[in-house]
Amino acid sequence: MKMFDVYPRYDIDPVRGLGSWIWDQEGQKYLDFYGGHAVISIGHGHPHYIDRVQHQLRQLGFYSNSVQMPIQDELSQKLGEMSGYTDYELFLCNSGAEAIENALKVASFHTKRSKIIVFENAFHGRTSLAVTATDTTKLIAPINQNDRFIRVKLNDLEAVAQCLDASVAAVLIEGIQGVGGIQVPDDAFLKELKLLCKQNGSLLIVDEIQSGYGRTGKFFAHQYAQVQPDLITIAKGMGNGFPIGGVLIHPDIKAWSGMLGTTFGGNHLACAAGLAVLEVIESEELINHANFMGDLLWKALGSLENLVQIRGRGLMIGLDLTGDSKPFRHSLLKEQHVFVGSAAQSNTVRLLPPLGVSQEELVVFLEAFKKVGYA
């Protein structure tokens, strides 16, 4: 049996990682400024992370949500304290797409409505509802097509206002659009969006799957706008590579038995990984570090030639080049051994290094950047 061939892959086989670096099977060292789609938040091979997961595995690797799990309570309490959402409740699942599916379901249950407003260039996942919310037509199979989603332009408040009516359960927006090219919602737009939702009896769902967990220099990107969503989805950097996702749910939204469910979500190993990530972020002050390093990187990139635009916050940065980014990314990887990411726009490069990236590693990246034509 062969693997179902759906992934375009680099001809590189990473076998080991440490911090911001990975090594392939031939011993070649690579600087990782992409973190596997922003998943590697605390760095590869962090010793506390390894110890936490190994210890849990020796005790108990898995049991279902039909038993008491104090480690889930420990994770939710720690997450509430660090994110500032101590009065919210947490539902745990396995991935970002599942988090989106469950958030949309909760919104529909709570409001008894079925329409969702989403935004151009959004990416929310590939499962049934999540892929319909995603603005990539080729990913939407005929079975996923429905008329429940209304798509408007990002930062266009008037367009949202015109679409809001008694059928709209929620507005779904990314804290910062990731795949869409690091497009940042205006702070004023988010504030007004929250007010419009409240006036209409709709919920505001903020997708922080890529932009959360300290990536932008705050725990969540929407906290720059000082708004409180009704639902917040999380995943990616939450587990530093271990599959885990979740939904933070406003206390006004009440749970009932059987409302949501999952076999693997919130299992013992996932919670151990999630706790390890939060503990490292806290002990190493990685959110402040990401903010500081992001400022340094932004200023350094701003002095380079041939960049059309720089966008983002903290260590979530998008660069628009003067031409197609694919040859640039290929040269950066093959010649300079640096991983970066692509985006929906062909000329955009995404930078998503681990939150603990060092100043010396920024220098390595910038020198590599210059060597492939952006001096």
DSSP 194-209: HHHHHHHTPEEEEE-T
For residue 6, tell me if it sits in a domain: no
Which pLDDT band holds residue 286 (cuts at 50, 70, 90)? very high
Where does a domain end: 266, 283, 300?
283
Where does a domain end: 245, 268, 283?
283
Q: The tokens of 345 are what?
A: 């726009």
Mean pLDDT of 119-128: 97
Angle CA(302)–CA(219)–CA(210) in degrees, nearest 5?
A: 70
CA 20 – CA 357 distance, rounded (Å): 6
For residue 362, tell me if it sits in a domain: yes
CA atoms within 13 A on the CB side of 153: 5
The mean pLDDT of the chain is 96
Mean pLDDT of 45-67: 97
**Residues β-bridged to residue 256:** none
Where does a domain end: 258, 283, 308?
283
Considering the domain architecture, whether residues 190 and 250 belong to the same structural domain is answered as yes
Exposure letters 68-93 (e unless 16+ CB within 10 A, then b): ebebbeebbebbbebbebeebebbbb
Which pLDDT band holds residue 375 (cuts at 50, 70, 90)? low
314 pLDDT exceeds 80? yes
For residue 316, tell me if it sits in a domain: yes
CA 285 – CA 314 distance, rounded (Å): 14
Considering the domain architecture, whether residues 144 and 33 belong to the same structural domain is answered as no
305 pLDDT exceeds 80? no
For residue 8, tell me if it sits in a domain: no
CA 111 – CA 134 distance, rounded (Å): 22
At 164 the pLDDT is 98
Measured in whole angstroms, how far is the alpha carbon of residue 372 from the centre of its chain? Answer: 28
374 pLDDT exceeds 70? no
19 pLDDT exceeds 60? yes
For residue 352, tell me if it sits in a domain: yes
At 361 the pLDDT is 98
User: Could you report the per-residue pLDDT of 229-256, keeping only the tens digit for each?
Assistant: 999 999 999 999 999 999 999 999 999 9
Name the domain count of the chain.
Answer: 2
Counting residues of the chain whose pLDDT is more than 70, the rounded percentage is 99
At 308 the pLDDT is 87
**Helix pair angle (70-83, 268-283), 10° resolution:** 30
CA 175 – CA 234 distance, rounded (Å): 11
Considering the domain architecture, whether residues 304 and 317 belong to the same structural domain is answered as yes
Task: State the CATH number of the domain containing residue 362.
Answer: 3.90.1150.10
Q: Which residue has the tokens 């692509």?
A: 342
Considering the domain architecture, whether residues 212 and 353 belong to the same structural domain is answered as no
Neighbours of 332 (CB within 10 A): 24
206 pLDDT exceeds 60? yes
Q: Contacts for 195-199 with beta carbons within 8 Å, 24 or more apart?
A: 196/157, 196/160, 196/161, 196/164, 196/171, 197/164, 197/170, 197/171, 197/230
> Quick check: helix, strand or coil at residue 16?
strand
Q: Contact, 196 vs 160, CB < 8 A?
A: yes
Mean pLDDT of 79-106: 98
Q: Contact, 244 vs 273, CB < 8 A?
A: yes
Considering the domain architecture, whether residues 111 and 89 belong to the same structural domain is answered as yes
Q: The tokens of 374 are what?
A: 């952006």
> How many Å is the Cα radius of gyration of the chain?
20
CA atoms within 13 A on the CB side of 44: 18
264 DSSP 8-state letter: S
Show the domain range for 214: 47-283
> Would you put residue 320 in left (φ > 0), alpha (ψ -120 to 50) or beta?
beta
**Residues β-bridged to residue 295:** none
* DSSP states of 276-342: HHHHHHHHTTHHHHHHHHHHHHHHHHHTSSSEEEEEEETTEEEEEESS-HHHHHHHHHHTT-EE-B-
Q: CA dihedral in degrees (135, 141, 145, 151; nearest 10)?
A: 0
The structure's pTM equals 0.97
